[in-house]
Amino acid sequence: MSSPYGMPSSPPAKRRTPLYIALGCGCLLLALVLIALAGGGFWLLQREPDDPATDEPTTSSEPTDEPTEEPTEDPTTEPTEDPTTEPTEEPSAEPTVSLSVSGTEEAATVETADGAQEPVNGTFFGVTVEVVNEADEDLSLSPSAFTLYDDAGTPHPVAYGFTADAAETVPPGETLSVLLYADVSEGTTITSVGFSDYVATGGEEIEIDV
C-alpha cells in the first residue's frame, strides 16, 4: 500500500569531521611527546661522564726521605775565645782626704746650742777625727758624711758633730779636728769610723779603726 505522503526520505548522514580533528590532534600530541622523549634520550647519551674522583694525591712528585741539602757540620762563623773588647779595670780616683782618730770618750750628755742633750739609747760615744784635706780646693764637711760602726758591723749614725771654731770647710793642705757623737746603747763597742764624700772620696766610703 502506498503512502499518501510518498516515499520517506533517507536520514541525513552524520558529520564525523570533529572526531577526525580530535584524533588528529591526539596523534600530533603523541608524536610530539615521542619526539621530546627521543631527543632527551639522545641528549643523555651524548653527555660525557664526569671525571671520577681519584684517591691518589694530585702531586706528581713523591716525598723523599733524604733531605735535598745535607747540613754542614762546620759553622760558618766560629766563636772566638778571646773577647773583642777587654774590660777596663781602671781604679777609682784616689781619695783626696786622709783621716785619723785622735781620741774617744763616752758622755752622759752633749752640750749643744740648744742646751744639754741626753741620749735616747743609753749613752753617747764620741770620736775625735783629724781630717787632712789633700785636694787643691776647700773640702766641705758635714756630720752626715761620717758613720760609726760597732764590733758587729752595725752602723750608728752621728747624732751630733762639732768642729774647731765651728768651721765648715777645710782649706787645701790643712787639718781640721771633728768631734762626732753617736747615740748608742750601753756596752756598745765602736771599732771604726767611715767617711764618704762625693768630691773627696768619689762617693766611696773609706773606713779607719778607732
User: What's the pLDDT band for 145 if we cut at 50, 70, 90?
Assistant: very high
Give the domain ranges of the chain: 97-209
Q: Which three cell numbers stand for residue 195?
A: 767617711
Contacts of 20 (CB under 8 A, 6+ apart): none
Q: Which residue has the cell 771604726?
A: 192
CB atoms within 10 A of CB 150: 19
User: What's the pLDDT band for 69 if we cut at 50, 70, 90?
Assistant: low
- CA atoms of 110 and 119, how far apart (whole Å): 8
Contacts of 75 (CB under 8 A, 6+ apart): none
Chain segment 199-208, per-residue pLDDT in tens? 899 999 999 9
pLDDT score recorded for residue 66: 61
> What is the second-level CATH architecture of the domain 97-209?
Sandwich (2.60)
Chain segment 120-137, per-residue pLDDT in tens? 999 999 999 999 999 999
